[in-house]
């Protein structure tokens, strides 16, 4: 039970970002006292950190978040192997080899996503289907409905090491989504993990509604 609560706690901080113990308790349906005990244990392991934020009235609120070590508890698709392979490709084939590799991966992913979204009629259903695909690949993806537009939120980057070593992977991801949704849909990346944000967020909007 302790390990399960610990895992759920780490997942909650990963997927929803910084939170108070009270908020975490409500989300996980665990008492605040128990949550604080778990947080203290995670603090000792340097998996979480806290910040006391002063409000206009009352005592400061203690807000908890994952540390860099905490984020490392989530898989990064064999990061050391990937970075080593990328270095090898660069050494043998140069930058053109890396570009070809990224283009090949993009083409494969585009075909997979297009086949999976084939027959899905509404934009909302397509975004949700893509989120399911991305979650199966380790991105912890979810969809937020904002009027006539949708936010594709990726709380984890399963290729973070590769993307950090080669920014072309990030550019490829955005281009991939644009190609999958087609010319009638606008895709903009609003948050970017490698730019210092907690997650990657893509705003997906029908072009006819962009000015709305």
State whether the Cα torsion 20-48-76-157 is positive or negative: positive
Closest CA to 165 of 67, 79, 104: 79
For residue 194, the 8-state DSSP code is G
Hey, where are the domains in the chain?
A: 2-71, 79-209
Q: At the topology level of CATH, where does 79-209 sit? A: Muramoyl-pentapeptide Carboxypeptidase; domain 2 (3.30.1380)
In tens digits, the chain (212 residues) has pLDDT values of 457 788 888 888 888 888 888 889 888 888 888 898 999 999 999 899 888 888 667 788 888 888 878 877 776 655 555 667 677 777 888 878 888 888 888 999 999 999 999 989 899 999 999 999 998 888 889 999 988 899 999 988 877 765 665 667 788 889 999 999 999 999 999 998 888 888 899 999 998 754 44
22-49 CB burial, b ≥16 within 10 A, e <16:
ebbbeebebeeeebbebbeebeeeebbb
CATH number of 2-71: 1.10.10.10
Q: Collapse the DSSP code of 187 into the 3-class scheme (helix H, G, I; strand E, B; otherwise coil) and give the result.
A: strand
């Amino acid at each position: 039970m302790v390990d399960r609560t610990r895992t759920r706690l780490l997942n909650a901080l990963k997927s929803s970002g910084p939170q108070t113990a009270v908020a975490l308790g409500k989300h996980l349906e665990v008492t605040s006292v128990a949550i604080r005990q778990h947080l203290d244990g995670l603090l000792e392991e340097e998996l979480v950190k806290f910040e006391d934020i002063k409000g206009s009235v009352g005592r400061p609120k203690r807000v908890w978040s994952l540390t860099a070590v905490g984020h490392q508890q989530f898989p990064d698709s064999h990061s050391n192997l990937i970075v080593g392979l990328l270095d090898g490709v660069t050494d043998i084939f140069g930058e053109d080899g890396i570009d070809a590799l990224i283009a090949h991966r993009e083409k494969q992913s585009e075909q997979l996503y297009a086949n999976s979204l084939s027959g899905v009629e509404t934009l909302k259903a397509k975004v949700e289907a893509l989120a399911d695909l991305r979650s199966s690949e380790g991105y912890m993806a979810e969809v937020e409905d904002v009027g006539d537009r949708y936010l594709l939120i990726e709380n984890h980057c399963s290729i973070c090491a590769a993307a950090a070593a080669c920014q072309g992977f990030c550019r490829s991801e955005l281009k991939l989504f644009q190609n999958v949704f087609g010319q009638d849909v606008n895709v903009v990346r609003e948050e970017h993990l490698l730019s210092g944000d907690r997650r990657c967020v893509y705003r997906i909007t029908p072009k006819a509604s962009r000015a709305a």
